[in-house]
């Protein structure tokens, strides 16, 4: 029986991953929108490193999208904290923090030098704390 979202094809997923995967298109196909936006903004997670590592994670992503979240695909780390997720959120949020500081005019930054550090820290903290786990 088909799920509400429909069965997602492994062939289509791997084709998307191999051709436009740096832009997260395969995640959008699998309805993993947050992951897709991270890939879109970071060109495949740290400029392709995450994209390459995902080659081994794609079967679990496909199973989850098709409603077959098997025990081998579930993370067994106890609790909601996991160091890999935390590190990824921290790197991505700091990237967005630096991007937000670049929008502040230079003359404002010269008169308020602590503003750059505070802005990036607040953006990073806000993004890390707003995740749904």
Query: Residue 133: what pLDDT?
Result: 41
Return the pLDDT at 108: 82
Contacts 24+ apart (CB under 8 A), 32-39: 32/61, 32/65, 38/88, 38/92
Q: Show the tokens assigned to 49.
A: 């490193």
pLDDT digits (tens, 9 = 90+) for 86-108: 777 777 777 777 777 788 788 88
Q: Which residue has the tokens 């904290």?
A: 81
7-54 residue pLDDT tens: 899 999 999 999 988 888 999 999 988 888 878 877 777 667 778 888
Residue 127 contacts by C-beta under 8 Å, 6 or more apart in sequence? 89, 92, 93, 96
Cβ distance 30 to 8 under 8 Å? yes
Instruction: Say how far apart CA 116 and CA 101 lie, in whole Å.
Output: 6
* pLDDT band with cut points at 50, 70 and 90 for residue 77: very low
Residue-wise DSSP of 11-58: HHHHHHHHHHGGGTHHHHHTT-HHHHHHHHHHTTTTTTHHHHHGGGTH
How many residues comprise the chain? 133
Tell me the average pLDDT across 57-77.
74
* pTM tops 0.75, yes or no: no
Residue boundaries of the structural domains of the chain: 1-74, 78-133
* pLDDT value, residue 15: 94
CB contact at 8 A, 29 and 13: yes
């Amino acid at each position: 029986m088909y799920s509400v979202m429909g069965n997602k094809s492994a062939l289509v997923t791997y084709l998307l991953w191999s051709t436009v995967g740096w832009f997260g298109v395969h995640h959008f196909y699998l309805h993993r929108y947050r992951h897709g936006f991270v890939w879109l903004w970071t060109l495949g997670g740290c400029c392709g490193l995450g994209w390459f590592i995902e080659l081994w994670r794609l079967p679990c992503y496909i199973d989850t999208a098709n409603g077959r979240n098997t025990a081998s695909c579930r993370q067994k780390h106890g609790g909601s904290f996991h160091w890999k997720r935390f590190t990824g959120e921290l790197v991505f949020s700091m990237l967005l923090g630096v991007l937000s500081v670049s929008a502040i005019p230079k003359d404002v930054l010269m008169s308020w030098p602590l503003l750059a550090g505070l802005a990036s820290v607040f953006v990073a903290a806000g993004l890390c704390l707003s995740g749904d786990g």
